[in-house]
A and B are shown apart, each in its own frame.
Chain A
Amino acid sequence: MKTSIPTSSSAISEFKAGLLEELPLQAGVLPFGMVYGILGIESGMSALETFMLSSLLFAGASQIVFTQLVSAATPALIIITSIAAINARHMLYATSMHRYIGHLPLGWRIVLAYLLTDEAYAVSIKRYVNAPHNRYMHYHLLGSGLLLFIVWQCSTLAGIVLGTAIPKELALGFAIPLSFMAIVIPLLTSKPQIITALSAAVIALSCQSLPWNSWLIVSAIGGIAAGMMADRWSGDRT
């Protein structure tokens, strides 16, 4: 895979490729960000808090969970633990990116780590694995990450502005489980993943009466444990 540097490739063309390959995913990001902005306001957070969460966390699914936990008056420690658990998957992304961007100066690594979201990772790792390497290829992740960042902030802002105008009867909060369904269903391709889903489901529904919304963290840990056991027993590697 590793070949010499093609003459046409430069920082700008890598950056552009990252932007362009990230672009189609924005069709899903845009409504998601707006729903987040609307829910943030509905949960009782201020416009500034809702907006800043999008830049300080910059992780959609966890921001939505954040609004729900805040509106249910969940204790701080449970919120932080839940968010840390949801976002732990980013360690996997950063680990697999290490061989492509791990050599960069600290400033670059901080910026690219900040921009390392699900969607930017998905697009840029494909380029790193499939296309010839060159010394400017970190600009690809900069392009995909930056586009996602801009669209996410703008759609959050749009949601915040719309938030007060949208009637509660439309039940837009229902868009959250729906969008997560579309994310989860394609992941259920192996027995251990299905066992994870079933275990987490049973625990989540039976632990609803636990205090402080701890059903979320309890069912996540239970689901992960069940998946790991299933993995070990079936020897099924996915």
Chain B
Amino acid sequence: MIWVIIICCGLATFAARFLPLSGILPAELPKPAQQAMKFVPVAVLVPIILSGIFVSADSQIELVGNMRIYAALIAGVVAVKTRNVIFTIITGLVCLWALEFLF
């Protein structure tokens, strides 16, 4: 079953990359579609970020004693200042380890 899902996801991804180059679709996407796609990265990634920070393994929202929140805040500052993926990851992980060790 998982292979069927993998192949369908692969086909959907390739279709997104190939269809505009295939000559089947018009060379320009319709305006509303173009506009909608501008918001896709933020609309998809923000929920993933928040669930990674706030939601525990048993899908409950965890606010008290959740060190990921503080680690993410510090890493967020680094992300704003440096815009560097690696610095952000390292800061966040090290802060998380330190906070979990201390508290």
Contact surface of A with B, Cβ cutoff 8 Å = 27-28, 31-32, 45, 49, 52-53, 56-59, 61-62, 65-66, 68, 70, 72, 76, 79-80, 83-95, 97-99, 101-102, 109-110, 112-114, 116, 170-188, 192-193, 196-197, 200-201, 203-205, 208-209, 215-216, 219-224, 227-228, 231, 238
B9-A215 in contact (CB<8A) = no
Verify if B102 is at the interface (C-beta below 8 Å from A).
Answer: no
CA gap between A222 and B9 in the complex, in Å: 22
What are the 5 A-B residue pairs with the smallest beta carbon separation, nearest first?
A: A223-B43, A177-B52, A204-B47, A56-B10, A227-B39
CA gap between A109 and B92 in the complex, in Å: 40
B8-A80 in contact (CB<8A) = yes
CA gap between A35 and B8 in the complex, in Å: 23
A49-B43 in contact (CB<8A) = no
Task: Indicate whether A178 sits within 8 Å of B13 (C-beta atoms), given known contacts A184-B49, A200-B43.
Answer: no
B14-A174 in contact (CB<8A) = no
Task: Indicate whether A220 sits within 8 Å of B43 (C-beta atoms), given known contacts A65-B48, A92-B29, A176-B48.
Answer: yes
What distance in Å separates the Cβ of A215 from its nearest Cβ neighbour in chain B?
Answer: 7
A197-B84 in contact (CB<8A) = no
Q: Which residue of B lies closest to A184 (CB)?
A: B45
B40-A205 in contact (CB<8A) = no
Within 8 A of A (CB), among B1-51: 1-10, 12-14, 16-23, 27-29, 32-51
Task: Indicate whether A182 sits within 8 Å of B10 (C-beta atoms), given known contacts A92-B37, A200-B47.
Answer: no
Contact surface of B with A, Cβ cutoff 8 Å = 1-10, 12-14, 16-23, 27-29, 32-55, 59-61, 68, 71-72, 75-76, 79-80, 83-86, 88-89, 91-93, 96-97, 100
A-B contact pairs, 14 of them (CB 8 A): A32-B85, A52-B6, A56-B9, A58-B13, A174-B92, A178-B92, A181-B75, A184-B45, A184-B46, A200-B46, A208-B60, A215-B47, A224-B40, A227-B42
Q: Which residue of A lies closest to B78 (CB)?
A: A182
CA gap between A211 and B87 in the complex, in Å: 35
CA gap between A68 and B55 in the complex, in Å: 13
A182-B21 in contact (CB<8A) = no
What distance in Å separates the Cβ of A97 from its nearest Cβ neighbour in chain B?
Answer: 7
B37-A83 in contact (CB<8A) = no
A188-B42 in contact (CB<8A) = yes
A59-B96 in contact (CB<8A) = no
What distance in Å separates the Cβ of B8 from its nearest Cβ neighbour in chain A?
Answer: 5
Q: Which residues of B contact A192 (CB under 8 A)?
A: 39
What distance in Å separates the Cβ of B65 from its nearest Cβ neighbour in chain A?
Answer: 15
| In-complex Cβ contact of B19 among A76, A91, A177 (8 A) | A91
A181-B72 in contact (CB<8A) = yes
Q: Which residues of B contact A59 (CB under 8 A)?
A: 13
